[in-house]
Every structure is written in structure tokens, then in C-alpha cells.
Structure 1
């Protein structure tokens, strides 16, 4: 990247943004404050017009949502922009406890001055796909929570039902929305109509068997819990419809963008599906932002935390200071490739044979997978099956490991 003589730091809040422009850390060109409004945006642009546009580079912290419209405005007007992780800017803060928006803008400008050569040419990344996948992820979490509530309620209202059928088939959910307990089913007539319209998973249960099951149930009469169950079923059906809509939105976005090739590259690894690939790309953005795979690992918060004192140096757990959404999708991808991909499954099994616990073994797979994904995306090459190991006759214990871990830690993996 070329050297820019004007470095502009912006501290953004909900109603205003503070600006500090410098030529170097000891030379302030101007400091101003603007309203977070169309007039404020225009006034800021007019202030910058005093300098050649190609001489200006602008940086701001990621604020979740408040910075997005300003960032989009500046980018659409051809200003070179970068967004910093707040942790990066924090390292440039002084030891003084004084903290104001004006000082924060100056610190961001100073950080920009020192980090200018580390900023990639494509620092502005479209956030729309990230918004979609994070909203989808939120829907998945809500679905998992609602399903948990349904299972708890059924354990009281009709505890025998879950043992004999899939309670989330269209048939059973439709039936429970009308007859939400064993007591209600005992009094119900013409249950055959529900089983004749099953459009979900097939079930071995029929109206006669269901009636017999309800008549022999230990469930008592809980009228309020029945009403709550009905509301939970309605919420689940609504969330499932939303999930389908977000899936369509993701595919439509990818078809209209330039990341289809990257999705093909990622999905060439057996065990990685389109949804996982889109989630990964939405969080990572342009892979060229990371000059080495180690920086990508640090961005994910998967680098080890280090405690050093004198000659003593101890590596602890992963730092978890990076992108939590990305860590979650990488974990799910690692679990999937161990199940479906012989190359990664062999690596996982070797770690287990070395006595490494399940969670640490999967984390080793996460690191190996991340290095592989980084290399593939940088080189624009698909997964090379020639590097995969030959088929092993050994039976792996991964299924047992994952079931045991999920049972102990209540990890939710629904939706991927």
C-alpha cells in the first residue's frame, strides 16, 4: 500500500462521530465532531475535500452496527477505508486513564499511522452476507431452545411419545398442536386424519397405537402446560419457516456475488457443506487480508494464550479473543470432516491414540483444517484427494467420543 500523508481516525457513537486527522503522531492536522446524519456526512466530506483524495486513508473501530452507514458512505465516495478490531486500537492507548471520544479518535489515527503497511488493499468488506449468516445462526439457537422447551413439556404431558416416534415430524407436531397431551389424545376422535397427511418424516406410529400409548401413559392433567406447548409448537414452525427464508437469502446473495468459486473450493472437502462454507466466508471475508495462516488463527481467537515471566514461558488455553462466530463454525466443520473425511479422520484418530482427550483432539483438527482452508483459498485450488490417506480397515471410536462429549457438555450442533 502507498504511503498516505493524511491519516484520519474516527471514533463513532450512536449520535455523532469524532474525527482526528494527522500527518504523524506528533502532528495533528485537524480535529472535529460531526452529527450522525446526512448533513454530518456531507460536512465531513467537505472537510476532507481540502486534501487530495488519494492522499487520505481513513480508519474506524468496529462498533457492531453504528459505523456501517458512515463506512458505506465513505467507501461509495472512493475514500480508502479500514476497520480496526478494538483490541488492535487498545494496544496504542496511553497509560493515562483519561478517555474521551476526542482522544479515542486520535488513538485510532495513531494506530493507522503505524499499521498502514499491514492494511490490505481490500480492507472494506461487504457486511451483508455476514448479517445474513449471523441472523441465521441466531434462528438456529432459538430453534434449539424452543425444541428443548418442547421436550421438557412433553416429558410431563406425554413422556412415552418421544420413545416411540420422532416428535418433530410434521404429523406429530400438527397432532400435538390440536391434542397437546396424553389426556387430550385419550378423549380425541378420528386421529387417522393426522396420519393420512404426513408430509414429514415417515413414522411407524398410527392412530390406534397412539391411542393405546396415551391410555397407558403416566401423564396427569396439566391444562396450562398444554397451552404453553401449543405456543411453543407455533413458535417452532415459525422459526423453521424463517430458517428456510435465510437459506434462500444466503444462496441468492452468493449467486449475485463473486464468492461462488470460494464456496466450490471449500465444499470440495468432504464434510463441508454449502451452509458451513458460506458461514465461514462471511466471517473471514477476503482471505488476502491475512498475510499468513497464523494471523487467521489469531483472528479466530484460536492462538494459545501465553504467560511469560523472566525465563518462564507457559502456553495456556486458546485466547478466545477473536471471532466467536468463526470459532463455532470451525468447530462444527471439524466435527463434520472427522466423520466424513478419511484424511482428517486419520489425523484425529492419531491424536486420540496419543492419549489426547476428545476436545483437544478436535481442536487439533480445527487448526489443521484452518491451515488447509487458508492454503486452498490463497491458491484457489480445490481439495486434492491424492493427499488423502488410503482406506483404513480400523474401526474408529469417533462416534462414541462425540456422543460422550455432547452428553457431558450439552453442545448444540443443530442446523448445520
Structure 2
């Protein structure tokens, strides 16, 4: 370990990011500066200049950030393009590090300082971040565009229904709305064809996705979206980490005698949650095992949405398990690996 180490902790959000620049020399840690930047290209340039003024030629400088949704990606790409040492940590790891230091205060500036400490204390064990391969990046971009087009289609369909039920809507308006819907249908079909072409270029990748898509409720497109958003699960060593990254983990609001509502963290990748939603709806109805699971939870929970989230989580874990194990899905095999965080066998 370098005896002169500098670490920049980055707490990133949609519109801005807070940073803390710390250094450690001869066992002593000192904050060299804190600041907030805009999460855009100008902010990245300003941030780079700010860091260069504090950087020492004799030190080893690392940049550490949390995988918060997708907001970290552009900055991570920028720093990687500058040949910087970039580390992207899962939210759960940051949370446990804070607990180990008994830090209870949570603000953006406190989080940036905490993340900088991770760089100083654990730089030797951190895994460098590398962008996904060109193939995975293209697949992910196509998946995200398809998802956005489907959102637009849903909105356009609702608008057409509103025009059709409204009083005395002129035909020209209804025709325009119908044509808009047709265009979106054509675009979705075209983009899905492009996506399948891309995936089929890698036979090994396609074969793995096709095997996982045998789970009733899933399909080639939905499995591809999950694989693309997780970069083939490269960042993850456990189910717990994956569930946290997806924002499908539950936060307990309890203190002493107070028992608050449990809620979904939603801190993770929104694209990943969106990719699992419709498959979960389908699986909860048509997948025999998951339908029983869903029905059983409906008796326990007050809201069906809680049960649906549990099905989303189950599907995510199934995809992860089959991807890692390389085995076929056996719907008759019962396992309990979701709770333990271990990697259960998919077949017996």
C-alpha cells in the first residue's frame, strides 16, 4: 500500500454530485477540500480541474463512487477516459462501512467523506471499474430505448382512449393520435429486431439468455434487459448485493418501541426494476410456482404491490442463479437461497 494516498469520495445524484478530497500520509488523514458540482459535462471539467490543483505527483489518487441508479455512469466514463483509477462500490458495501464506523448522520457531504474513507482504507482490495464491452453497451442502449418507446406507447394509447371517449373530438385529432401509436409500434418492432440481431451475434450469450428465458413469465427481451443492466452480473458476488443494486431491498423503519412502515429502498437501478415489472405481472398469473408464491404473500401483505415486488425479486434471483450456474431451470426444484444470499443450485 502506498504510504501517500489520495482519495476522492463522490456522492452522486441526478443533477449534482458532492465530493470530498482526502489524503493520507504517514498514517494521518486530512481533508483537502469538499465541493458540489453539476452532473453534466461542464461539471466534469470543473471537477477535473479542481482535483488537479490538489493532486500530488508522488501520491496515488483514487476516485470512489457509489453505484446509485444510473447517475454515476457518465462521470465514471469520463474519469475512465482520463485514465484515472475509478472504483464503483455497491450501496450495500457503503452502508456496511458506515455501520462499522458507527456513522448515523446521513447527508450528501457526510456520504462523500465516508466514500473517500473507503478509498483510503480499502484501496488495495477494491476492484477497478471498467466500462461494459462495446457489445454489452450497444445491447443496453437498445434495451433502454425500447423501454422508453414502450412508455411513450402507453402514454399515446391512453391519450387516444381519452380522445375517443371525449365529447365530439374532431376526426383529424383521433387520426393523428392513431398514426402516432402506429409509428411507435413500428419503432418498437424495429428496435427489438435490432436487439435480437445484436444478441445473436454472440452465440454463447444468446444460448445462455434463451435457456433462462424458459422460465414462464420471462422472454428473450426481458432477460436481455436484465443481463445488459447488470453487465452480466460482473459486479456481484452475492444475491444480497444484486437485490440492493436493483433497489428491491426492504428498508425497516424501526427504533426502540417505534415500528414504522417498511418500504422499498428504490435506491438502485430503475431500468433494472422496470425490466422486471411486466415479467413479474405475467409470472404472478401464469407461472404455477410463482402464482402460488404471489397468492400466499397476498394473504400476508396489505397491498398486492408488495407481493409483486417479491415476485420481481424472485425472478431477478432466478436469472442470476441460472446465469452463474450455467444450469437449466427446473420448476419442480424448491430452494431457499434467496434469504441466505447464497448461490443455490438451479436443478437437481
TM-score range, shorter chain: 0.5 to 0.7
* Cα distance per residue 1:286-332 (max 9 Å; x no partner): 42423321222222332223122226656624333333333333232
Q: Is the 8 Å Cα contact of residues 246 and 266 (structure 2) preserved in structure 1?
A: yes
Q: By how many angstroms is 1:140 displaced?
A: 0.9
Unaligned runs of 5+ in 1: 158-221, 389-416
Secondary structure of the residue aligned to 1:9 is: strand
Q: By how many angstroms is 1:235 displaced?
A: 1.6
- Where do 1:143-154 residues align within 5 Å? 143-154=153-164
TM-score by length of 1: 0.58
Root mean square deviation, CA, Å: 4.9
- Which of 140, 143, 146 matches 1:136? 146
Q: By how many angstroms is 1:357 displaced?
A: 6.6
Q: Is the 8 Å Cα contact of residues 254 and 260 (structure 1) preserved in structure 2?
A: yes
* Cα distance per residue 1:137-163 (max 9 Å; x no partner): 221111111112222322357xxxxxx
Instruction: Decide whether aligned partners of structure 1 residues 31 and 261 sit closer, same or farther in structure 2, where only a CA change above 3 A counts.
Output: farther
TM-score by length of 2: 0.67
Q: Is the 8 Å Cα contact of residues 139 and 239 (structure 1) preserved in structure 2?
A: yes
Q: Does 2:228 correspond to 1:282?
A: yes
Structure 2 distance, partners of 1:340, 1:81, is: 44
Q: Is the 8 Å Cα contact of residues 143 and 195 (structure 2) preserved in structure 1?
A: yes
Structure 2 distance, partners of 1:239, 1:246, is: 10
Q: By how many angstroms is 1:239 displaced?
A: 1.7
Question: Residue 263 of structure 1 aligns with which residue?
Answer: 209
Structure 1 distance, partners of 2:317, 2:69, is: 28
Q: Does 2:327 correspond to 1:377?
A: no
Q: By how many angstroms is 1:31 displaced?
A: 8.2
- Which of 163, 166, 189 matches 1:244? 189
Question: Residue 155 of structure 1 aligns with which residue?
Answer: 165
Instruction: Decide whether aligned partners of structure 1 residues 40 and 363 sit closer, same or farther in structure 2, where only a CA change above 3 A counts.
Output: closer
Larger Rg: 1
Unaligned runs of 5+ in 2: 335-348
Instruction: Decide whether aligned partners of structure 1 residues 386 and 51 sit closer, same or farther in structure 2, where only a CA change above 3 A counts.
Output: farther
Instruction: Decide whether aligned partners of structure 1 residues 386 and 304 sit closer, same or farther in structure 2, where only a CA change above 3 A counts.
Output: closer
Secondary structure of the residue aligned to 2:253 is: strand
Q: Does 2:86 correspond to 1:81?
A: yes
Deviates more, 1:231-240 or 1:57-66: 57-66
Q: By how many angstroms is 1:279 displaced?
A: 1.9
Instruction: Decide whether aligned partners of structure 1 residues 64 and 326 sit closer, same or farther in structure 2, where only a CA change above 3 A counts.
Output: closer
Q: By how many angstroms is 1:232 displaced?
A: 0.9
